[in-house]
Amino acid sequence: VGPTGEFLVLETTLGPHRVLMRLDLLNGAHQVLYDALDAYAPTISSDGKWVAFDAGGGNNADIWQVSLEDRTVKKLFEHPGADWMPRYAPDGSALSFVSNRDGQFDIWLFDLKDQTFQKVTNTPEMESTGYWSRDSRKLAFFRNQAAERRSGVWVVDLLSGRETQVYPIPHTVIDVTTTIAWGPEDKTLFFSDGHGLRQLDLVTGKSRRPLDTVWHRTEHDRYTVRGNTLYVIQRTFVSNFSIAEVREK
């Protein structure tokens, strides 16, 4: 979702490809931004000028960037391994992404100014990409232990490197394309626990379901928060979206 909440960029099926499409939330107008390769996991920069995404598919996926002003496309970097699900830092300094370039799927950072890489996690478990807190100091992510059929929501402090599990998800392996959204003041997280959307208070540790009356799929759902509005992208064969207002308490 764009910085002002007036448009969103989503992936959807159009012909033989997964394409990136810009949708105007005010008038419903839409525009294809990219359709050369199958594209996934778009993320909009905080200044609303760029969209980063992965394209190429599977172990050949690389991270690309397209301009929202003139649709100029460039590959940000490539590697023989799989680079998936980029996310812009709110301060514009870096991208987080998940990659198996070291043989296992860990979270990495790409410095947009210095063009350097930093490995954030280093475990044998499958991890999602890192979702930035609004102050760009922390990343929230899923970590799956598939052999034991369990997952968890974790938060890593980028300054200290300390990782903390904030919510265990037993008996469920979460699809790592499902996203996590931080609340307006970095006090809450919104994510799927495999049975529905859950809102977690990071201060008290208590959780609840904020969308009990709204039907939505939990597999592959995408979440983002702008102001007090939670956007839920319901990914099926084509992407749809629903909107609910949320507030941190």
Query: What DSSP assignment string belongs to 206-221?
Result: -EE-TTTTS----TT-
The candidate with the shortest Cα–Cα distance to 157, out of 133, 128, 193, is 133
Domains defined for the chain, CATH in brackets: 1-122 (2.120.10.30), 134-249 (2.120.10.30)
pLDDT at 34: 86
- Match 């037993």 to its residue by tokens: 170
Look at residue 166 and tell me whether its pLDDT is greater than 90: yes
Reported confidence tier of residue 79, pLDDT bands at 50, 70, 90 = confident
Which pLDDT score is estimated for 234? 66
Q: Which residue has the tokens 């998800």?
A: 169
| Whether the predicted pLDDT of 241 surpasses 50 | no
State the average pLDDT over residues 157-175.
93
pLDDT of residue 213: 44
Report the chain's mean pLDDT, rounded to a whole number.
86
Percent of the chain whose pLDDT exceeds 70: 89
Both structure tokens of 171: 């008996």
Say what the pTM is: 0.87
